[in-house]
Structure 1
Amino acid sequence: MLSVIIPAYNEQAGLAVTFKTLEQVLASLDMPFELIFVDDGSVDKTWEVIQHLQPVDGNNRVHGIHFSRNFGKEAAIFAGLEAAKGDCVVVIDADLQHPPEKIVDMVSLWKQGYEVVEGVKEDRGEETGVHRGFSKLFYRLISRFSGLDMADSSDFKLLDRKVVDALNRMPERNTFFRALSFWAGYSRATVRYRVQDRQFGKSKWSTFSLVRYAMRNIASFSVLPMQLVTFMGAVFFIFAGILSIIALVQKLSGRALGGFTTVIILLMFTGSIIMFSLGIIGFYIAQIAEEVKRRPRYLVSEEYTSEE
């Protein structure tokens, strides 16, 4: 059986179309499937729409999960992974920007023995130039920090049951699905796709939320920023040593350094590095505090399963 996870947040306008499109595409696979819609605490009628979805074929089913509030897309994905019953699992966006017809290609590769099939973007669709630039910078940084090449990756992917079970055993609270699926390894293949234009609604990601998302995921998947603090300290130590030697030579030669310009520059430079370093350390401490609380990733308010 195939499980398809569809995280949704305020997607009432297009959810019925997404459901019908997925049913039509998956009908060609000649295998039973389940559609798992995870309502991430929507404030519109997304949950009401999910509760009225009924599959045409009685061998298939719709499973709905409604969060008590908005916990974020990562939590929604992992709620779907924990609920999935299929031998393979696909994660796809609810706005149809991930082309559902590519699921057929993914399943074909899975049947050939691949355990992870990555959806790789050929282009980024209707994104603005600024958004596209920040995305490329983020993936360049996360790839450099983690040692995993995640260029043009996305949450659109197929996972074998053993990979899903491995991800579900991971205990951390701050998860980054696309990076964890890379970290897990297993045999993998890729399917290239073009990001489709959004047909309904608008993107739920603001610039601030994307920056916060990037910072949290970099911190949760790499300690290199912490090592950057040590590197900056070493650079400043060398810089300060050179200036100290220059000042000592000038003092001994009777040409003492005049004025306070150098002192002010040094103090400001030192203070900036200290504050920047404390900010990095504080961010990691905050991440640790979130982990040690051991709060659940999400809380489920209600569930729905279509009639079989």
Structure 2
Amino acid sequence: MQERSRKEKNILYIVVPCYNEEQVLAETSKRLKEKCEMLIHDGKIAKESRIVFVDDGSKDHTWNMIDEFHKMDSIFSGVKLSRNRGHQNALLAGLTMASEKADIVISMDADLQDDINAVDQMIEKYYEGCDIVYGVRSARDTDTFFKRFTAEAFYKLINKMGGELVYNHADYRLMSKRALKGLLEFDEVNIFLRGMVPMVGYQSDIVTYERAERFAGESKYPLKKMLSFAFEGITSLSVKPIKMIFNVGILICVISVLAIIYCLVRHFTNNTVSGWTSLVMSIWFLGGLQLIAIGMVGQYIGKIYLETKARPKFIIEQVLND
């Protein structure tokens, strides 16, 4: 791993997607500004570095606050999407904008749960030669049992389904300019950045940190949305669910053949028991299995439909950047 020159100050852009974050944005901007000024003072990043807030079609005063931050200090930049496009697309919009001017890009959420001090370690890893540095939670002590259990199951399930996720990593990461350029070459409409970034390759490492409680406001990921996000990740990264359906179909066919042989033996030995319970149960079971299979295949067909349309992942309405 070849180290980078520390004498050459690199431009850092911190990309923060925001959706209805007016309650936390003032504190977030304050802490991020302090961190950037400290890094500039220590000579780790260039003074042209910026904090980029991406407004994902917020319905509160989020964009007005971003506009005010930018007017007060040019270290703050803003990207306003034309409408709500979801966390992943908003993050990608900010990364796309940052790729034009930044040497290093760090993405993080606005809720202050990610430890800002881990940025120092990420930059150190970058200068040591890493192109991607993942922020990884050291523990899940602040989570409820249910959330901890479902989160761990999510990572294990994705990896078993063929995805390549970094365990306990969300979207808090550092990417070099060439790693970011590589990510932007992925053209799919259905994006799942946690699984796409490892596909870029290049030298990577992790930085562990303790995740704090949300500073203010409500979580943007209730259970329903988390389940949808998990399903999106599985179907965006892997075709194993379809293969599993095929294998289950073969298994049921084998069982059906055995059942037919059993029924024939009973018939020819005049030991047939008339009844409808087993028949009804089998019909319901096979009918349900068919509906699940059709639904799963339909999900993939729907994704193919969206990909062929090649609709834009986001439309930028306004950019604030000096």
Q: TM-score, length-normalised on structure 1?
A: 0.94
SS class of match (1:123): coil
The question of whether the paired residues in 1 share the 8 Å contact of 2:13 and 2:51 is answered with yes
1:66 paired residue among 66, 72, 80: 80
Residue 152 of structure 1: how far off its partner (Å)? 0.7
Matched, 1:41 2:57: yes
Summarize the alignment of residues 214-253 of structure 1 with structure 2, pairs less than 5 Å apart: 214-253=230-269
1:13 paired residue among 17, 23, 32: 23
Aligned mates of 2:166, 2:125 — CA distance in 1: 20
Q: What's 1:83 paired with? A: 97
Residue 144 of structure 1: how far off its partner (Å)? 1.0
Moved more, 144-153 or 105-114: 144-153
Segments of 5+ residues of structure 2 without an aligned counterpart are 1-10
2:196 paired residue among 164, 167, 180: 180
Q: Which amino acid aligns with 1:48?
A: N
Residue 127 of structure 1: how far off its partner (Å)? 3.2
Cα distance per residue 1:187-234 (max 9 Å; x no partner): 111100111111111111121111111111110110011111101101
Aligned mates of 1:12, 1:273 — CA distance in 2: 46
Q: What's 2:6 paired with? A: none
Aligned mates of 2:310, 2:162 — CA distance in 1: 24
SS class of match (1:205): coil
Aligned mates of 1:23, 1:125 — CA distance in 2: 29
Cα distance per residue 1:42-95 (max 9 Å; x no partner): 1010001101114988xx632201111110010011101110121111001111
Q: TM-score, length-normalised on structure 2?
A: 0.90
1:81–1:149 Cα change, 3 Å: closer
Summarize the alignment of residues 22-171 of structure 1 with structure 2, pairs less than 5 Å apart: 22-29=32-39, 30=43, 31-32=45-46, 33-54=49-70, 61-84=75-98, 85-124=101-140, 126-171=142-187
Q: Which amino acid aligns with 1:3?
A: Y
Cα distance per residue 1:245-302 (max 9 Å; x no partner): 1111111222124212222222112111111101101111111111111111111222
The question of whether the paired residues in 2 share the 8 Å contact of 1:9 and 1:39 is answered with yes
Q: What's 1:204 paired with? A: 220
SS class of match (2:69): coil
Aligned mates of 2:108, 2:102 — CA distance in 1: 15
SS class of match (1:117): strand
Q: Which amino acid aligns with 2:168?
A: D
Q: Percent identity?
A: 30
Cα distance per residue 1:80-129 (max 9 Å; x no partner): 11101211110011111111111011000100001110111112354333
Between Structure 1 and Structure 2, how many residues are aligned? 304
- RMSD of aligned alpha carbons: 1.6
Aligned mates of 1:149, 1:11 — CA distance in 2: 27
Q: Which amino acid aligns with 1:62?
A: F
The question of whether the paired residues in 2 share the 8 Å contact of 1:247 and 1:257 is answered with no
Residue 147 of structure 1: how far off its partner (Å)? 4.6
Aligned mates of 2:272, 2:111 — CA distance in 1: 69
Moved more, 261-270 or 290-299: 261-270
Cα distance per residue 1:135-166 (max 9 Å; x no partner): 22211111111252432111000011111001
